[in-house]
Amino acid sequence: MLRKISLCLAIALFVAALPSPAFAQAAAVAEKPAVQAAKPALPTIVVLATGGTIAGAAATDTQAGYTSGQVGVDQLLAAVPQAKKLANMRGEQISNIGSQDMNDEVWLKLARRVNELVAMPDVAGVVITHGTDTIEETAYFLNLVIKSKKPVVLTASMRPSTALSADGPLNFFNAVAVAANKDAAGRGVLVVINDWIHGASSLTKTSTTAVQTFMSPLRGLIGTVAYGDAEFFRGPVGRNTVTSEFSLDGVTALPRVDIIMAHENMDGALIDAAVAAGAKGIVIAGVGNGNLTAPAVKALAAQAKKGIACVRSTRVATGVVGRNVELDDDALNLVASLGLNPQKSRVLLRLALTKTSDPKQIQRMFDEY
């Protein structure tokens, strides 16, 4: 009898230990592999290539001489496959020239194409490859005429694509990372090169050959980017993009503006010659605080009186050209460039002249941009 009771008890305990149907079903579900959350879709970045050293090639990987604009946009994209992890990319060839040959035709084509692209809902941003010689001028021009808060990022290199330790691939990778970064929006047109993020109104080229050639000496960096990891410090300085009053609507050509460097024993011959050649505006790369000799001042003031827009900038690397400091700009009808160097002063003056030749209105623009 005792043996029979023990057997019954063992059977009862075994049955009690069996899982219920509901528990078994739940356990079966738990054993199934977890469904992974869908990864967010990568942003679409359009790459516009214009040429430059980043698309350059040399006969060997250790020679200084090279030819710009030898590599097409498809080759650029293929050379940095790592960027495909950051964005869906497609490329277009706008031009393939050294940026010393940058011109109004390319500028207008490029700006109009960027405006078309950033108006497309599926395009998150634009990357532009460019030569270093005039990248600051192109970036500032775009900064004034692009009508979107979406990231527009220029990049370049100081060494050609064939060079030993070429800097182009990482610059391109970082530029794509910044353009794909939502935090880059609303900061104006940017230039990404050598791990630094510059604002279009701030940067300038400071060395003919050094890799770390670009600086933003007056206003500082917008941010930094290391292997695609971007950190932003500030927003843009001055009106730009969506807050800019400038537009290319109806513009088929830009007014001629010449830059003339001031120097010892300067007369007014070059000033008068520029106007005779068709210049509607003149930018003086003055000495010191935008100064120039008495004969040159006389010639400049005479042209300003005739309606030629005349801006005083400086050939000095850093500093602000103040209004009515060393010259009476009010009396002479001259414009002070403030924080803009001669090359950027020329860009702003050309766009200003599409609207007005009034020196007071042009000075307002220099104050605001």
The residues annotated with a catalytic role in the active site are 53
Q: With residue 365 as reference, give the H or E element that holds it.
A: helix 359-368
DSSP 53-92: GGG-B-SSTT-S--BSS-S-HHHHHHH-GGGGGT-EEEEE
Rounded Cα distance between 296 and 29, Å, is: 87
Rounded Cα distance between 222 and 187, Å, is: 8
Q: Are strands 196-199 and 257-261 parallel, antiparallel or unpaired?
A: unpaired
Cα 235 to Cα 148, 181, 240, 248, distances in angstroms: 15, 14, 11, 24
Cα 354 to Cα 130, 147, 277, 300, distances in angstroms: 26, 17, 19, 21
Angle of CA points 176, 182, 185, to nearest 5°: 90
Q: Are strands 309-314 and 335-336 parallel, antiparallel or unpaired?
A: parallel
Does residue 90 contact residue 116 with C-beta atoms inside 8 Å?
Answer: no
The label of the residue with tokens 């000033």 reads 271
Provide the 8-state DSSP code for 156. Answer: -
Packing angle between helix 104-118 and helix 135-145, nearest 10 degrees? 50
Does residue 360 contact residue 335 with C-beta atoms inside 8 Å?
Answer: no
